[in-house]
Amino acid sequence: MIVGVGIDLVDIARVDRLLDAKGERVLRRLFTADEVSYALARPLPAQHLAARLAAKEAAFKALSGNSLARGIGWRDIEVVRADDRPTLALHGRAADRAAELGVTNIWVSLTHTATTAGAMVVLDATSPPNSV
């Protein structure tokens, strides 16, 4: 059963400007060390950071609904890779809210063009399908 859905778009040039203006400070505030390492190892770091911001915003929307959800911080939601696809690792209040919703699976889709990054997050409260 789907218990949450979120979608978001982020302007890549805006992330570039944010990085120019705030540098390390914004990286530490918005991203985990692993997210920063992943993005900085790519030819266009702002593109990958923008996709991660879009995923975090989409996750906020999918987890919304009560005061616990309103207290989720940027670093409580982490974009990670599992089985060669993006997914989320939830920490702190995000993990607490997901447990409250009974989330058993998180589906994440990331995309980008030259100018915009987007993400969709679906929270599922069913057990994983049987492997064949």
Per-residue pLDDT, averaged over 102-107, amounts to 96
Query: Which band of pLDDT confidence, cut at 50, 70 and 90, is reported for residue 5?
Result: very high
Q: Average of pLDDT values for 10-22?
A: 96
**What is the number of H-type helices and E-type strands within the chain?**
6, 5
pLDDT score at 68: 80
CATH class held by domain 2-124: alpha beta
How is the chain split into domains, by residue range? Answer: 2-124
DSSP reduced 3-state for 74: helix
pLDDT at residue 130 tops 90:
no
What is the rounded average pLDDT of the residues 85-103?
Answer: 96
In sequence order, the 6+-apart residues with CB closer than 8 A to the CB of 60 are 6, 69, 72, 77
Q: What b-and-e string marks burial along 36-45, b requiring 16 or more CB atoms within 10 Å of the CB?
A: bebbeeeeeb
pTM: 0.92
Instruction: Report the pLDDT value the prediction gives residue 132, as an integer from 0 to 100.
Output: 44
